[in-house]
């Protein structure tokens, strides 16, 4: 994936879409549906896979999510909010 420019909520490349694409890559089955409400525990991704998900998002958006946010987030929406705050 090449890095993309994302302006939160203002174009088709929303932050959520970046998470959805990352989830597809991490899941491998191509069947993983991700929404803001999705709980991380519901994804079938264990705690380590969430690190991989976030690594994909960080590379795609050229940002760094603080470790404490990585470990405390309970839902995709929570992670999306964190990323939106980090974007310029």
Partner 1 sequence: VSSRRLREAFYREYQTFFERAERTRRWNLFTDIPWERLPAEPAGPVGADLALCAETFCGVEMYLPDYVAEHLALFRGDVGRAWFAAAWGYEESKHSLALREYLVRSGHRTESQMFDFGEAVLSRRWQAPFADARQMTIYGALQELTTFVIYRKQRELSESLGDPVLPTVYRLIARDEMAHARFYRRMIELHLDEDAEGTLQDLAEVLYRFRMPAEDLLADYDSRIAVMRTAGIDRGVFYREVVTPTLSAFNLTRHDLPLPRPRPVAPVSATSS
Residues of the shown chain interacting with partner 1 in the complex, contacts defined by CB under 8 A: 24-31, 46-52, 55-56, 58-59, 64, 67, 70-72
The first and second tokens of residue 2, run together, are: 């090449």
In angstroms, what is the minimal distance from the CB of 67 to partner 1?
7
Residues 30 and 50: beta-carbon distance below 8 Å: no
* 8-41 burial: b if 16+ Cβ within 10 Å, else e: beeeebbbbebbbbbbbebbeeeebebeeebebe
CB of 26 to partner 1, least distance (A): 8
User: Which CB sits closer to partner 1, 35 or 59?
Assistant: 59
Q: How far is the CB of 9 from partner 1 (least distance, A)?
A: 26
């Amino acid at each position: 994936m090449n890095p993309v420019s994302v302006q939160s909520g203002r174009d088709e490349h929303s932050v959520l879409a970046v998470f959805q694409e990352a989830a597809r890559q991490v899941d491998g089955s191509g069947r993983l549906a991700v929404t803001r409400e999705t709980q991380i525990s519901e994804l079938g991704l264990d705690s380590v896979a969430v690190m991989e998900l976030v690594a994909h998002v960080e590379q795609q958006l050229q940002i760094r999510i603080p470790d404490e946010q990585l470990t405390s987030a309970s839902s995709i929406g929570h992670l999306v909010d964190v990323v939106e705050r980090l974007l310029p």
